[in-house]
Structure 1
Amino acid sequence: MRSVRLQHHTSYTPQVRTLLGGLYAQVRADLLDHPNYRLDAFLERLDRHGAEPGWAAVIGHDSASGAAVGYAYGNTVMPGDRWWKRMSTPPPGKYMSKGAIAVKEIGVVPGWRGIGVSRQMHDELMRHRQEPYTTLMVNPAAGDGKVMRLYEGWGYEEIGVVQPSPASPWLVCMGRSTR
């Protein structure tokens, strides 16, 4: 049986950037020709996110080989953050009152999907957070809707829609209590 070892990072270093970039290229290999999903676009977003308050990442490694198999990262978003400003309608006030953690990316390499790795990384990322609420954005078409249903199963609910950039598809912003 395959198992994963979770490694928590709270500093955005060149080594972490390289590791996340390599994982991203594997996770999104079928989308890398789309402007929003190109590796350089991801690295630009990652550099911006890595400089923002409260940045942290969890990287999952195959317990047997040590190979990296997935990642989750996020950072704190406060009232007035661009995360909220781009939404088509204002989010419920509770998400902005004391700050929230925005999960910016979760990805698992093919071959490790469907066995709970993303949930393990997500929960490990949340375990260390003080923010009362968690939010994320999801493409409702991802996996023919399976990804959004997965997040609903984790307790997330839709709180708005957003188009983060002109190259991005419209995304559903979801939120839940961190605990």
Structure 2
Amino acid sequence: MTVELRHHTTLTPEARQDLLDVYTDVRAPLLHLPNYGVAAFLERLDRHAAEPGFELVLGHDGRTAVGYAYGNTVDADDPYWKRMAEPLPEGFTGTPVVALKEIGVRAPWRGTGTARRIHDSLLAARTETRVTLMVNPLAGDGKVRRLYESWGYRPFNVQRPTPDSPRLSVMIRPSH
């Protein structure tokens, strides 16, 4: 499998559709839940795409979109920090970070290194020194969180981004 990585700093209709195709495949078992439904995802996606530092990496195997990751810059005043369950240490938000908002890879490409390649490609040219993400600690019976830990992420807080979402572990690591 040869996966070509394509970077987008604006959400074109074609990129949006490719991303939606992968999202609905990857999240199919969860689409009935309010926070994972297509309408909720598209609302978040469109909001995130309009925020500073938005970048999307789509992986394609031939004409098929097989995976994605996207994120944007989060600075000290961003609501992202205000939803944390525990107070943050003084100065913690003093420098912008890249927030990895979504990552997903279709089943046939899992375990091939595709997710890590997409992730690393997203971060490669970023100027932020740290990257943060949120993960449901129960996803895959903890397997997803353990994967992120193997990539160098460490939990530092928890939050519930919306009333419909589960309580998520917030993780962070150096971006390079």
After TM superposition, list the pairs within 5 Å mapping 1:28-107 onto structure 2.
28-62=27-61, 65-93=62-90, 95-107=92-104
TM-score by length of 1: 0.94
Given candidates 103, 108, 131, the residue that maps to 2:105 is 108
Distance 1:93 1:100, change over 3 A: farther
Report the Cα distance in structure 2 between the residues aligned to 1:31 and 1:125, rounded to whole angstroms. Answer: 25
Q: Report the Cα offset of residue 92 of structure 1.
A: 4.2
Report the Cα distance in structure 2 between the residues aligned to 1:55 and 1:95, rounded to whole angstroms. Answer: 22
After TM superposition, list the pairs within 5 Å mapping 1:11-30 onto structure 2.
11-30=10-29
Distance 1:57 1:83, change over 3 A: same
Report the Cα distance in structure 2 between the residues aligned to 1:93 and 1:55, rounded to whole angstroms. Answer: 27
| Aligned equivalent of 1:135 | 132
Q: Report the Cα offset of residue 90 of structure 1.
A: 2.8
Report the Cα distance in structure 2 between the residues aligned to 1:144 and 1:57, rounded to whole angstroms. Answer: 27
| Aligned equivalent of 1:171 | 168
Gaps spanning 5+ residues in structure 2: where? none
How many residues are matched? 176
**Preserved CA contact (<8 Å) 2:19 2:65:** no
Q: Report the Cα offset of residue 95 of structure 1.
A: 4.7
Superposition RMSD in Å:
1.2
Gaps spanning 5+ residues in structure 1: where? none
Identity %, equivalent residues = 54
**Preserved CA contact (<8 Å) 1:91 1:159:** no
After TM superposition, list the pairs within 5 Å mapping 1:119-158 onto structure 2.
119-158=116-155
